[in-house]
Amino acid sequence: MILRCMKHDSKHKIVGSSVPRVDAFDKVSGRAKYAADYNAKGQLYGMVCYASHPHAKILNIDTGKAAKLPGVRAVLTHEDIPGEKSFGSVIPHQMALCSDKVRYSGDVVAIVAAESIEVAEQAIELIDVDYRQLDVVSDPKVALKDGAILIHDENNLCAYHKVRRGNIDEGFEKSDVILERDYSTSKIEHSYIEPEAVLAEPGENGGITITGSVQNLYSIRRAVARVLGLSLNRVRIIQATLGGSFGGKDETMSALCCRAGLLALATGKPVKMVNTREMSMRESYKRHSYQIHYKVGSTKCGILQAIESEIYADAGAYAAMSPFVTWRSAVHATGPYSIPNVKTDVYAAYTNNCYTGAMRGFGSPQICFAIESLIDELAEELNLDPLELRLKNILKDNSITATGQGLKHKVSLKEVLDNVTEKMGFVDKWKQNREQKRDTAFKRGIGISCSYRGISLGAEGTDAAGVIISIQTDGSVILSTGLIEMGQGAATTISMIVSEKLGITPDRIRFLSADTSRSPDSGPTVASRTTFMAGNAALRGCHELLERIKPVAAELLRCPEQDLLFENNSVYAPNKTSEGDRKIPFSELADKCFQKGISLFAHGWYKSPPTTWNEENGQGDAYFTYVYGANLAEVEVDCITGNVRVLKFISSHDPGQIVNLSGALGQVYGGVIMGIGYAMLENYAESEGNPLVANFDEYLLPTACDIPEIETTLIHNPDELGPLGAKSLGEPACEIAAPAIANAVFNATGMRIRHLPLTLERVKLGKELVRIDSRGSVKARGG
Amino acid sequence: MKLDFVLNNKRVSINVKGGLRLIDLLREQLDLVGTKEGCGKGECGACTVLLDGKPVCSCLILASQVRNREVTTIEGLSIEGEMHPAQEAFTETGAVQCGFCSPGLLLSTVALLNENPEPSREQIRRALSGNLCRCTGYEKIFEAVELASRRINGLSVQNDKV
Ligand code: FES
Ligand code: FES
């Protein structure tokens, strides 16, 4: 691994250094408790009965035989739901248990609780459902045509967003070169290695407590309360250690929690439900596949004049986060470039495919692949090298984005591009590769990509978060927040920020996992907002506490408050006090405060700076700040088999201020490799609404053998809005890997591949091969 | 049926049903939940345990197959509270994110280092290729294995942390 860190500062004591994760010890010793590791005395096992068809009317559900099976304690259908039958954060139409029809193959019509998993499985087999099959809609463009079969009551349009800037026709008139291209991306399974699991326990007062692999506790709680007909304060959702999520354990978990909750209330017993990988793949929402049409106009010398785009996202059967995901796509559709004339239309359509929602990148990896391929294609057309064309058009300080937003922070795009290209001698290499002989079997290629990314939710929704900081009388600290640790390192990052401010070492800080009954609703842990939002909230909490404890410390040290220094679990006033450099342990100070009746508990709350959005023309200050990144990929293409090997990868990002260096690097590596999987391997294929993959035998993830050498350069560019200058990193790292690779493959072979993933057949033959028979785990599905 | 085997250096004698998978014996009957199930099909390696020192997928093995043999799980890696050098190295280098793959990866690592105390990058890659990790991008895991290897071999470990 090679890392270069630009302009490292020493302003901070701990922030910016590498700190081992606060939760690593439990995880390497096998003691961390994930959802499936929880058991309760007398627990039952829950199981679901899936739809037999991707689209069908339900005529009758007969649970009689199943209910009579010995060991079965409950068989429930939609008729047994005490509250509403459906839930959903944006559009509450996702069915906990289907009533009138099924809309995709992961829909559930009935659930069983039994004394063992085996009995529960047998009972599922005994449930008889009569269906009348309906035509299946599987293409989002077809779904939006007049007269298309309807998935829900109204038309199949799930979301539509537009951006209009300048005058698109004039833009094209002024252009010397106009290019039109179509791109598409595949549907992606999050592939968290931990499948979904919950344990639902009936609580006192008819309430319920659910411990599970949950990402967004509060939206899940709203769903459970709605379906179970309970008030929010009687539904308690506790987060178990989460075995990965990447945006994926939200609506899927709402459904699972509702179902386990229904069974627990019906039986009065704890109910455990654990998905197999096959169930998880069948049912859990995915990253959207996109179909993207671009038209770009440029002057001869490469100044972009206009970009028009029409983008279709497959929302699948339910809305989930699609309206927000596609909004982000609309904002970012023209890439990190200054373009005076823009016309963007983004549609999300309902189909009978697996539904889609949030996944790391949130509507930008698709766009990044398309726009960054397009820019390379345009460069080719204009006889410019890809770097030159980018440098002519990238956003700079004070540039105006496609949505009319002036960028008032330091825009580091040129810097990140320089970082990835200079050391590799990109332009020379790129030119040399084009001279390779036609008949060489192994060809080298090099490619770049860059992006800008609005952080947090932006104008997508209200954006606020809280952190509770509670100093104990021995000087140790407990932190809790509604934003969660899901493997990304939030616990460590937030602990470090608190450590920095209170001068307490991270080992004296304990970050509690989230619990809806104990921590404030801080919205979803998505959109790379955690460091920024919870970090800022934590700073406010620390500030409040310092205001209260400083007078006590000053009194003890007989010095003015401004001379106090909090460091290494103690407070002192260096060279300032008559007491010399006496250090008071933080524990002593905490105890003293407690004796004096001073509250050692603070709730820091942070609301994001304002954003604006005009639905009519898609103009506004969409996000309060942006981050920038660039990638370079070097590949070797085996022209005989079509195999692409990524040899080297350089990634440069501007996360503002790095909080935990080791964690930041981990986010880049993980993001890049997820991006490589997106580029080369992964495809949740479906045919007429039926999934063609069911497990990791055919849904291929990058392994330890597939990964290149990765070099990372992080820019130090503190943002005045971020906590201590920090912004975000987890998502930008993932979104621009695929275009760098596709551009490198073009550089090697001269063949432009506009569809992901870059499979052997696409690289070798330039087309996809059609599968005839089911294979592998697909046959075993449901059996 | 009765099953005798050695688990984490202790003799175990237990009644099991025929057809029971090793992972279920460990997790459900013996309450050793450190072993994780990610796919149930031998694809992800999250369920890796050592059988007579060799890594195996406990989701693919029947409990009856471990009769009179030795099984090591993540719970058996640290001896009397002392962590195995691989566990320490994983913690220090940042090889753990969500941690769901970690028990399996650690056991594959220990098996590798037992057999080959100074593996090359390529050998590490191959030895770990059966363990999927979605979070880390593997790089930090390689570094952890290399650090553990140096520690085991008593080599200097200065400047090897970022
Ligand atoms: S659970 Fe055994 S290999 Fe995945
Ligand atoms: S750390 Fe999450 S899967 Fe490896």
Q: For A380-400, write each residue's pLDDT tens digit.
A: 999 999 999 999 999 999 999
Say if strands A271-274 and A44-50 run parallel, antiparallel, or are unpaired. parallel
Measured from the CA of A487, which atom of ligand 2 is nearest? 2
Token code pair at residue B59:
């989701």
What pLDDT is attached to residue A347? 98
At residue B156 the predicted structure's pLDDT band, cuts being 50, 70 and 90, is: low
d(CA A468, CA B68): 52
Rounded to the nearest angstrom, the distance between the alpha carbon of A696 and the centre of ligand 1 is 10
Token code pair at residue B44:
């992800």
User: Which residue type occupies A423?
Assistant: K
Top residue of A19, A29, A673 to mutate, by most chain B CBs within 10 Å, is A29
B12-50 burial: b if 16+ Cβ within 10 Å, else e: eeeebeeebbbbbbbbebbebbbbbbbbbbbbbbbbbbb
Question: Rounded to a whole number, what is the distance in Å from the CA of A246 to chain B's nearest CA?
Answer: 9
Question: Across the A/B interface, how many CB contacts are shorter than 8 Å?
Answer: 182
Helical (H) or strand (E) element with A200: strand A197-202
* Residue among A327, A628, A615, A311 at smallest CA distance from A455: A628
Say if strands A271-274 and A197-202 run parallel, antiparallel, or are unpaired. antiparallel
Q: Is B98 in the pocket of ligand 2 (CB under 6 A)?
A: yes
- The CATH number of residue B143's host domain is 1.10.150.120
What pLDDT is attached to residue A592? 95
d(CA A649, CA A761): 23
**Is the residue at B161 inside a domain?**
no
Q: Which of B41, B138, B143 sits opposite A277 (nearest CB)?
A: B41
**Is the residue at B8 inside a domain?**
yes
Question: Rounded to a whole number, what is the distance in Å from the CA of A9 to chain B's nearest CA?
Answer: 16
Taking a C-beta distance cutoff of 8 angstroms, is the pair A101, A53 a contact? Answer: no
**Is the residue at B64 inside a domain?**
yes
One domain for residues B112 and B145: yes
Q: Strands, DSSP E only, in A486-548?
A: 509-511
Q: Whose CA is nearest to atom 4 of ligand 2?
A: B133
What pLDDT is attached to residue A493? 83
One domain for residues B72 and B93: no
Q: Whose CA is nearest to atom 3 of ligand 2?
A: B133
In terms of Cβ atoms closer than 10 Å to its own Cβ (0-12, 13-18, 19+), residue A178 is middle
Q: Tell me whether A518 touches chain B (CB under 8 Å).
A: no
Ligand nearest to the CA of B45: 1
d(CA B103, CA B36): 8
d(CA A613, CA A635): 41
Taking a C-beta distance cutoff of 8 angstroms, is the pair A492, A660 a contact? Answer: yes
DSSP A156-170: SEEEEEEEEES-HHH
What phi and psi, each to the nearest 5 degrees, are found at residue A37?
-85, -5
What pLDDT is attached to residue A772? 62
Measured from the CA of B44, which atom of ligand 1 is nearest? 4
Rounded to the nearest angstrom, the distance between the alpha carbon of A44 and the centre of ligand 2 is 29
Ligand nearest to the CA of B40: 1
Top residue of B33, B97, B136 to mutate, by most chain A CBs within 10 Å, is B97
Q: Where are the domains of chain A?
A: 464-607
What phi and psi, each to the nearest 5 degrees, are found at residue B94?
85, 30
Taking an 8 Å cut-off on Cβ atoms, the answer to whether B161 and A18 are in contact is yes
Helical (H) or strand (E) element with A331: helix A322-332
Q: Is B57 in the pocket of ligand 1 (CB under 6 A)?
A: yes
CATH 3.30.365.10 fits A464-607, yes or no: yes
Rounded to the nearest angstrom, the distance between the alpha carbon of A107 and the centre of ligand 1 is 26
d(CA A392, CA A337): 9
pLDDT more than 70, % of chain B: 95
Question: Rounded to a whole number, what is the distance in Å from the CA of B5 to chain A's nearest CA?
Answer: 21
Total domain count, chain B? 2
Q: Tell me whether A191 touches chain B (CB under 8 Å).
A: yes
Distances in whole angstroms, Cα of residue A547 to Cα of each of A564, A593, B83: 12, 12, 42
Residues of B in contact with A488 (CB under 8 A): 97, 135
Ligand nearest to the CA of A669: 2
First to last CA, chain B: 52
**Is the residue at B160 inside a domain?**
no
Task: State mean pLDDT over B38-48.
Answer: 98
**Is the residue at B157 inside a domain?**
no
Q: Is B34 in the pocket of ligand 1 (CB under 6 A)?
A: no
Distances in whole angstroms, Cα of residue A119 to Cα of each of A64, A199, A264, A266: 15, 18, 17, 18
What pLDDT is attached to residue A779? 55
Q: Which of B76, B110, B125 is the last residue of a domain?
A: B76
Helical (H) or strand (E) element with A381: helix A365-382
Taking an 8 Å cut-off on Cβ atoms, the answer to whether A670 and B97 are in contact is yes
Sheet strand arrangement including A565-567 = A565-567, A570-572, A584-585
Rama region for A363: left / alpha / beta (φ>0; ψ in -120 to 50; rest)? left
**Is the residue at B71 inside a domain?**
yes
Measured from the CA of B99, which atom of ligand 2 is nearest? 1
Mean per-residue pLDDT over chain B, rounded: 94
Which residues touch A337 (CB under 8 Å, ≥6 apart)? A304, A375, A390, A393, A394, A395
One domain for residues B68 and B98: no
Q: Which of B23, B48, B76 is the last residue of a domain?
A: B76
Q: Which of B76, B109, B135 is the last residue of a domain?
A: B76
Residue ranges, chain A, pLDDT below 50: 1-8, 780-783
Q: Which of A28, A489, A777 sits opposite B102 (nearest CB)?
A: A28
Compute chain A's Rg from CA coordinates: 27
Which residues touch B158 (CB under 8 Å, ≥6 apart)? none
d(CA A190, CA A675): 12
Q: Tell me whether A17 touches chain B (CB under 8 Å).
A: no
Print the domain residue range for B103: 85-152
Q: Is A24 in the pocket of ligand 2 (CB under 6 A)?
A: no
One domain for residues B138 and B101: yes
d(CA A694, CA A697): 8
Rounded to the nearest angstrom, the distance between the alpha carbon of A723 and the centre of ligand 2 is 27
Q: Is B46 in the pocket of ligand 2 (CB under 6 A)?
A: no
Helical (H) or strand (E) element with A198: strand A197-202
**Is the residue at B121 inside a domain?**
yes
Q: Is B37 in the pocket of ligand 1 (CB under 6 A)?
A: yes
* Residue among B107, B90, B106, B123 at smallest CA distance from B52: B107
One domain for residues B108 and B67: no
* Residue among A195, A201, A51 at smallest CA distance from A113: A201
**Is the residue at B43 inside a domain?**
yes
Distances in whole angstroms, Cα of residue A401 to Cα of each of A191, A510, A626: 34, 41, 11
Q: Which of B38, B101, B139 sits opposite A277 (nearest CB)?
A: B38
Question: Rounded to a whole number, what is the distance in Å from the CA of A346 to chain B's nearest CA?
Answer: 30
Taking a C-beta distance cutoff of 8 angstroms, is the pair A426, A387 a contact? Answer: yes
DSSP A749-774: HS----BSS--HHHHHHSSPPPP-S-
Q: Which of A29, A192, A665 sits opposite B162 (nearest CB)?
A: A665
One domain for residues B66 and B96: no
Helical (H) or strand (E) element with A748: helix A737-749
Question: Rounded to a whole number, what is the distance in Å from the CA of B33 to chain A's nearest CA?
Answer: 6
The model's pLDDT over B56-79, given as tens digits with 9 standing for 90+, comes to 999 999 999 999 999 999 999 988
One domain for residues B103 and B38: no
Q: Tell me whether A2 touches chain B (CB under 8 Å).
A: no
In terms of Cβ atoms closer than 10 Å to its own Cβ (0-12, 13-18, 19+), residue A770 is exposed
Number of residues in chain A:
783
Question: Rounded to a whole number, what is the distance in Å from the CA of A624 to chain B's nearest CA?
Answer: 28
What pLDDT is attached to residue A656? 83
Taking a C-beta distance cutoff of 8 angstroms, is the pair A9, A222 a contact? Answer: no
d(CA B6, CA B71): 6
d(CA A62, CA A79): 12
**Angle between helix A386-393 and A365-382 (nearest 10):** 110
Q: Whose CA is nearest to atom 3 of ligand 1?
A: B42
Strand partners, A343: A164, A308
